[in-house]
Structure 1
Amino acid sequence: MLRTAPLLLNGAEIEIWPAALLRARGNTDARLLAQATHVLRRKRDGRYLATVSARGVHSLVPRLPSEPGVAQALQLLDQRAQTLEPHLQPLHALHQYLHHLGLDADRYAADTGLSLEAEPSVLHFAGRDRFARPLWLRRGAAHAWRRLRRHAAIDGIALDAISGYRSHAYQLGIFERKQARGQSVDQILTVNAAPGFSEHHSGRALDIGTPGAPPAEEQFETTAAFAWLQTHAGQHGFHLSYPRDNPHGIVYEPWHWCWRG
């Protein structure tokens, strides 16, 4: 059992995960993860790049030093032993993602009223989501989610998380996968915010569900869980981001709630 709340250390290209929260993808991975304290994981595709243990760094890919972001990731890991001051990641790489999709950040922001959301450098473990994946949020949002869920349980309402923090690179991947299935960027933008503009990047947003209801579907609004959230979520700092006829051009999302403190 993990004795302290684990942290996700978030670099521009690489995330540093607590090894105990990652799943082995084969026998070799299992042996290495069993000995490791942390794993360097490429954000773009989830590839494990290296494990870190008391013996040092063990590369899992050829030419690890040439991987973009490795030096910054190892520096973040060194700082963890000190007082690591959370900060927001710079947005320079984001503009490359938007250019890849044929989007201009300033024009998109003006058209939608959405704001650029920088990624936090440190995210806190907030339990697991419906699919048993680690749920990462900012510290305040993680504490608020636990309180919200306990309050709901006392009232006989079961809440579960569908997803929390997502990186800019992950959001780009959503677009690329949908484009590969024949959807246009304009079609995707009615459902997904452009990379950099999703509240999920901030570590403050949650997609919330309830057992028995399909994830991230409009029918969530017919559940007792949604009715309870409408009444009580604000007490814990959570607010519905995309109600019907919202000014951002995003479809109605009764499942998407953002912590604003």
Structure 2
Amino acid sequence: MSTPNVLNSETKYGHFPYAQVNQSQLIVMSSYGQKEYQRNVEMERSAGLALFQLMNAARDRGLWLIPISGFRTVAYQANLFNRQVQRQGSEIAAARISAPPGYSEHHTGLAIDLGDGFAAGEGIPDITERFGQTRAYEWLQKNAITYGFELSYPPNNAQGVMYEPWHWRYVGSEYARQVFAQAHNTPKG
């Protein structure tokens, strides 16, 4: 894939910088994982309440949205990113898959990775492009904005980040719109 159309001095490999939200502003949405890998999934309060509404609406349509990953500290993101650097061989390659620490939307508490609870039984793993082939994703594409959510990294996005059908950001408040203003002002393709 070619480099993003617009790279300003504030991006790192196409990712914008994001401050880590004060953790006192977070609410627990769910837990995810099993045994030693189980962790709480947290979001900023207004985003979390909106996500509950979105999940309830999806459930009313026979869908099962699973919150997989919400808020991440900069330190946690550093671990994820460093593992990707080892797997991919360079920071540039890793950044197509995982944001560098200090540059993840997850730091804001306004981003959420979602899975389809029914798709797992059909052999579709979480956090893959195959989520884009699920009924849950189809419903999100049509309805997420009603609850203040939008897809962060659609196919061929201007930031040059891998297509992530599972990764949604909350833009349903003035605060959230300000947090993601840079991403919205990035020219499309």
The normalised TM-score by structure 1 is: 0.56
1:188 and 2:91 correspond: no
How far does residue 193 in structure 1 lie from its aligned partner after superposition?
1.4
How far does residue 202 in structure 1 lie from its aligned partner after superposition?
0.4
Rg comparison, structure with higher value: 1
How far does residue 129 in structure 1 lie from its aligned partner after superposition?
3.1
Corresponding residue number in structure 1 for 2:57: 151
Please give the alpha-carbon distance, in whole angstroms, between the structure 2 residues aligned to 1:190 and 1:108: 17
Please give the alpha-carbon distance, in whole angstroms, between the structure 2 residues aligned to 1:230 and 1:199: 19
Structure 2 vs 1, CA of residues 130 and 166 (structure 1 numbering), >3 Å: closer, same or farther? same
1:208 and 2:109 correspond: no
Corresponding residue number in structure 1 for 2:19: 118
1:238 and 2:144 correspond: no
Please give the alpha-carbon distance, in whole angstroms, between the structure 2 residues aligned to 1:179 and 1:115: 19
The residue correspondences of 1:75-154 to structure 2 (distance < 5 A) are: 107=9, 109=11, 112=14, 114-121=15-22, 122=24, 123-129=26-32, 131=34, 132-154=38-60
Q: Which amino acid aligns with 2:136?
A: A
Does the CA-based 8 Å contact 1:124-1:138 persist in structure 2? yes
Please give the alpha-carbon distance, in whole angstroms, between the structure 2 residues aligned to 1:203 and 1:197: 13
Does the CA-based 8 Å contact 2:30-2:67 persist in structure 1? no
How far does residue 144 in structure 1 lie from its aligned partner after superposition?
0.8
Aligned length: 155
Alignment gaps of 5+ in structure 1: 1-105
Please give the alpha-carbon distance, in whole angstroms, between the structure 2 residues aligned to 1:145 and 1:130: 19
Please give the alpha-carbon distance, in whole angstroms, between the structure 2 residues aligned to 1:181 and 1:255: 21
Q: Which amino acid aligns with 1:176?
A: N
How far does residue 181 in structure 1 lie from its aligned partner after superposition?
4.4
Please give the alpha-carbon distance, in whole angstroms, between the structure 2 residues aligned to 1:187 and 1:169: 20
- Helix, strand or coil: the match of 2:41? strand
Does the CA-based 8 Å contact 1:207-1:257 persist in structure 2? yes
Over the matched positions of the two proteins, sequence identity in percent amounts to: 36
How far does residue 126 in structure 1 lie from its aligned partner after superposition?
1.6
Please give the alpha-carbon distance, in whole angstroms, between the structure 1 residues aligned to 2:29 and 2:60: 19
Structure 2 vs 1, CA of residues 193 and 111 (structure 1 numbering), >3 Å: closer, same or farther? closer
Does the CA-based 8 Å contact 1:116-1:196 persist in structure 2? yes
- Helix, strand or coil: the match of 1:219? helix
How far does residue 115 in structure 1 lie from its aligned partner after superposition?
2.6
Alignment gaps of 5+ in structure 2: 1-7, 173-189
